[in-house]
Amino acid sequence: MRKLILLLPFLALIAVSCVTSKSLSKKATVLENAGEYTAAADLFYQSIQRNPNNTDAIIGVKRSGTKVLNDYLRKFSQYAIQEDYERATYAYLDALTYQEKLDRVHVKLEIPVNSQNKYTEVLNSYLTQKYDRGLDLISIEKFDEAEKCFNEIYKFDKNFKDVAELRNIAYLEPFYRKAEKLKNDKEYRDAYDAYSKILQRVGNYKDTKKHRDYVLAKGQTYITLTSGEGKRYSSYSNSIKQQVVNSIFQIRDPFIKVVDREDLGRVLKEQELALSGLSKNDLEVGEIASAQYNVVIDVTNYNTSHEPLRKEKIKAREAYKEKYYDEAGKARYKTKFKTVYYYEFRESRNLIMSTSYKVISLSSSEIVATDIVRKSIDSYVHYITYSGNKSELYPAVNSNGYSSGSSRSKIKRLLKAPRTLQPVGVLIEQYNNFAANKIASSIVSKLR
């Protein structure tokens, strides 16, 4: 009996589902008898979705669905006769889509073989029309429209003639022409980006890689980094200098190259040779050399201070349970407080550093950028210790009965707070990272 009670909701749900399916099937039959077979087929389809075993709906959707499918095929034939190959193609695709829809509810409708064969002819004619149209558009340099034609063909047949190559040409040629113009205008960075988009799409279109190498070599800036002459903070200056080099590498700007100063002459010579193989025009060495810079890093201020550990004894309360017996002799407990003391500790350390940097043109000795990066970094500890029952520690109360000093939530937090200051070396590392990132971003931004 209990099992039957548990099954009743499930059986009721099935009954509702079947009634809904039958109701839809009946409505579909009424529509079909009225000649509205498209709407009827849709209701039969919904009926099967609710109950895949509804035989009346299965028969009904096959009967009315065949008429819907024939309508699509009739449109296909009409457009084909009119040689409207695009509309004919998509009418046939509508028929296929409808066939696949009914197949999802296991109702099989067949498209006649003669329609299938006719579609093959129509599609070939449609793709040929698009192909010829695309060629015409390329000839008059309407590349965007040509690309749409070739993309349409590619969607149906990736191997249709040389459409794969032509769609790339239609897409890439505007980028290539833009890149060539930028190169001629000496906008080397923008030219590099345009060439890169071409390489991302295909391989070496019209020697794109060689042209990109050319604009990179023409527009590339070589910089050296040196420490300031001051000996007092030279070790810190050298450390930040190396951090700046690392930060510039992480920015990954292909036009900014960091080299050792003693290697600069060799780098410029190699660059000249590379360019001579890429350009028919003679390149003057001075044209390269005038674009080189030296960055001077100098720590101008370094100061640390330390506030020693301070210890303060704080009055507080500790809760405990006191046992007593009620009138019935039953044991009871009440919360009471006793006066206790905990210790509060404070300690701090501070680092202040300043670093100046100058970007100097190697050809003119002109300072093209300069700034100072300052930052103060603190390490601070504030905690309490208590030797008693920490979980029952409460702040003291004043004469009015209110808590004094820290709240209990603060006491809990300070009991778990860190108790060790960060070493000076860690603070210096934090400053170096901050200063190096800021200096590197400024250098790259300026030289762009």
What is the greatest pairwise CA distance in the chain?
113
Whether residue 137 is found in the same domain as residue 88: no
Q: Is the pLDDT score of 2 beyond 90?
A: no
Q: Is the pLDDT score of 319 beyond 90?
A: yes
Instruction: Tell me the two tokens of residue 78.
Output: 């009409």
Token pair 């100072």 in the structure block, residue: 372
> How many structural domains does the chain have?
4
pLDDT band at 434 (very low <50, low <70, confident <90, very high): very high
Whether residue 23 is found in the same domain as residue 99: yes
Mean pLDDT lowest among 49-58, 134-143, 272-281? 272-281
Q: Is the pLDDT score of 384 beyond 90?
A: yes
Instruction: Tell me the two tokens of residue 121.
Output: 């002819």
Whether residue 100 is found in the same domain as residue 180: no
Q: Is the pLDDT score of 10 beyond 70?
A: no
Q: What is the mean pLDDT of residues 131-160?
A: 93
Domain stop point among 246, 267, 295? 295
Mean pLDDT over each residue of the chain, to the nearest integer: 86
Q: What is the mean pLDDT of residues 292-312?
A: 93
pLDDT band at 254 (very low <50, low <70, confident <90, very high): very high
Q: Is the pLDDT score of 17 beyond 70?
A: no
Instruction: Tell me the two tokens of residue 222.
Output: 């070589």
Domain stop point among 217, 234, 260? 217
The pLDDT value recorded for residue 284 is 38
Question: Would residue 79 count as lying in a domain?
Answer: yes
**Which of 365, 368, 355 has the alpha carbon at shortest distance from 432?**
355
Residue by residue, DSSP assigns 264-307 as: HHHHHHHHHHHHHTT-SS---HHHHHTT-EEEEEEEEEEEEEEE
pLDDT band at 363 (very low <50, low <70, confident <90, very high): confident
**Kind plus residue range of the DSSP H or E element containing 273:** helix 264-276
Question: Would residue 274 count as lying in a domain?
Answer: yes
Phi then psi for 402, rounded to 5 degrees? -95, 150
Q: Is the pLDDT score of 14 beyond 60?
A: no
Question: Would residue 446 count as lying in a domain?
Answer: no
Domain stop point among 217, 245, 278? 217
Whether residue 285 is found in the same domain as residue 348: no
The pLDDT value recorded for residue 80 is 94
Whether residue 305 is found in the same domain as residue 423: yes
**Residues 81 and 74: beta-carbon distance below 8 Å:** no
In tens, the pLDDT along 172-209 reads: 888 899 999 999 999 999 999 999 988 988 877 888 99
Whether residue 162 is found in the same domain as residue 93: no
Domain residues for the domain of 178 are 131-217
Q: Is the pLDDT score of 300 beyond 70?
A: yes
Can you tell me the distance from the alpha carbon of 327 to that of 304, in angstroms, rounded to the nearest whole number? 68
Q: Is the pLDDT score of 273 beyond 70?
A: no
Q: Is the pLDDT score of 240 beyond 70?
A: yes
Q: How many residues appear in the chain?
A: 448
Whether residue 18 is found in the same domain as residue 90: yes
In tens, the pLDDT along 411-433 reads: 999 999 999 999 999 999 999 99
The pLDDT value recorded for residue 285 is 36
Whether residue 99 is found in the same domain as residue 9: yes
pLDDT band at 229 (very low <50, low <70, confident <90, very high): low
Whether residue 321 is found in the same domain as residue 305: yes
The pLDDT value recorded for residue 362 is 83
Can you tell me the distance from the alpha carbon of 327 to that of 316, in angstroms, rounded to the nearest whole number? 34
Whether residue 144 is found in the same domain as residue 253: no
Instruction: Look at residue 160 and give its three-state secondary structure.
Output: coil
